[in-house]
Amino acid sequence: MRKDQWAVGVIINGRNLGIWDSLTGGEVDSADTTYRPGAMGDPISLGGQITVGTLTVGRLYDLQRDLPLIHWLISQVGAGTVTISKKALDPDKNVFGKPLTYTGRLKKVTPPEVDSESSDAALITLDITPVGTVT
């Protein structure tokens, strides 16, 4: 399996934004509460609450697709409900297994950076604060 064998879909407030090129974050972690019993007993792990890290999706900024969308995306910051699906692909580009699904709130929209000295790809990124756990 390679990093490019994934399909990442984004939906904000029911609007399907299609496939995105990159996804970072979304790690699932937990707080660890420990208890130390008397008489120098070994610590006991009580487990803890589960947290999911902030997700960032990104893709090449396409004038036809993203320029009409950028103002709407900015208007959704802090309010937009986001669903991200992360689907594994087999070598023939077929979906394999059950996708990971994240839900959350749109935290930040980052339009492409500008640099007159650069010919790098112009990317748009979205940061999403997860709500609940991964399904």
Residue 11 has pLDDT above 90, yes or no: yes
Q: Do the beta carbons of residue 35 and residue 46 sit within 8 Å?
A: yes
In angstroms, the CA 76 to CA 94 distance is 32
- pLDDT category at 1 given cuts 50, 70, 90 is confident
For 7-17, b/e burial (b = at least 16 CB within 10 A) is ebbbbbeeeeb
What 3 state SS string does 25-41 have? ECCEEECCEEECCCCCC
Q: Closest Cα partner for 130 from 100, 98, 106? A: 106
CATH architecture of structural domain 6-28+47-130: Beta Barrel (2.40)
Residue range 61-119, pLDDT digits in tens: 999 999 999 999 999 999 999 999 999 999 999 999 999 999 999 999 999 999 999 99
